[in-house]
Amino acid sequence: DNLQATQVLIQMLSDVIERYQIPTQSCVLSHVTTILRAIEAGSPVDLVFQSIAGTEQANANFGVNHKLLEEAHSAALSLNRGTVGSNCMYFETGQGSALSANTHHRLDQQTCEARAYAVAQQFNPLWVNSVVGFIGPEYLYNGKKIIRAGLEDHFCGKLLGLPMGCDICYTNHAEVDRDDMDMLLTQFAVAGGTFIMGVPGADDVMLNYQSTSFHDALYLRQTFDLAPAPEFFQWLQQNQIFDENNNLIKHNNVPALFSSALESLE
């Protein structure tokens, strides 16, 4: 992690949100210790990110413990950035993380994963995200196992009252294809998932794995009559991006909100 780069990204995202008055939050996925330093330096942090697992040793491998997460949570709350509620943590999890580090103590992957949700629950997070297939075929071999794990994670997280999302994904060397991911995407929506990922083209070129794209969210909204969060939906309508029926408006030109910004680049 690089503190300076993290601060630049946090400030850039904050400026975009403020400029366009977007009812949302930003989160830079730097280690919790880097985010703590950024908060101390005055960066406008909305959400603190951290990967967590279901055993103390596995979390130590991530460079965190309960005390450190408490410190980060308190630091984020002290900024008073939220407008509604005080949910200022974003956690990523995933079956197999403890097993891959040999810190699972002979527990099965799902039990360890559920224990990670118990860690998350203590900090009243805004998001908890099961990055379900990122672990690779060494731990979730094929599409059927990834589908099973994604639905298991959603079920266990919801039992604990968490806002569960899923990065419906797979590594390029797994025995998986896009049909498997479309299956999990659809089943996850039927099960009442909170959110999915939006990656351009569904191809994460930085981490070299396949995820879901923005058009996948549109498919789910149209198929299951789902809408964005109310405040964000209102903003989309006000800026002529969505119509009142939750449909994406087709423009011949860029919406007026963004046209001036693009003109400045010419």
d(CA 24, CA 157): 23
Q: Mean pLDDT, to the nearest integer, of 56-78?
A: 98
- Domain at 43, CATH number: 3.20.20.70
pLDDT tens for 135-185 read 999 999 999 999 999 999 999 999 999 999 999 999 999 999 999 999 999
Which pLDDT score, from 0 to 100, does residue 6 have? 98
Range 214-223, long-range pairs (CB < 8 A, 24+ positions) = 216/185, 218/248, 219/185, 220/185, 220/186, 220/189, 220/196, 221/246, 222/247, 223/186, 223/189
DSSP assignment of 81-149, as one string?
--SSS---EEEEE-TTHHHHTT-STT--HHHHHHHHHHHHHTT--SEEEEETTTT-TTTS-BHHHHHHH
* pLDDT at residue 16 greater than cutoff 90: yes
Percent of the chain past pLDDT 90, that is, above it, reads 87
Which pLDDT score, from 0 to 100, does residue 5 have? 98
* pLDDT at residue 118 greater than cutoff 90: yes
At a CB cut-off of 8 Å and minimum separation 6, what does 74 contact? none
Which pLDDT score, from 0 to 100, does residue 198 have? 93
* pLDDT at residue 252 greater than cutoff 90: no
Coil vs helix vs strand at 63: coil
Q: Mean pLDDT, to the nearest integer, of 105-116?
A: 97
Residue 228's domain comprises 3-263
Under 8 Å between Cβ of 15 and 7: no
* pLDDT at residue 195 greater than cutoff 90: yes
* pLDDT at residue 83 greater than cutoff 90: no
* pLDDT at residue 42 greater than cutoff 80: yes
Which pLDDT score, from 0 to 100, does residue 1 have? 82
d(CA 153, CA 148): 9
Which pLDDT score, from 0 to 100, does residue 128 have? 98
* pLDDT at residue 71 greater than cutoff 90: yes
pTM of the entire predicted model = 0.94
Which pLDDT score, from 0 to 100, does residue 97 have? 95
Query: Which range, of 127-136, 163-172, 248-257, averages the lowest pLDDT?
Result: 248-257
Mean pLDDT of the chain: 94
* pLDDT at residue 266 greater than cutoff 70: no
Structurally, the chain folds into a number of domains equal to 1
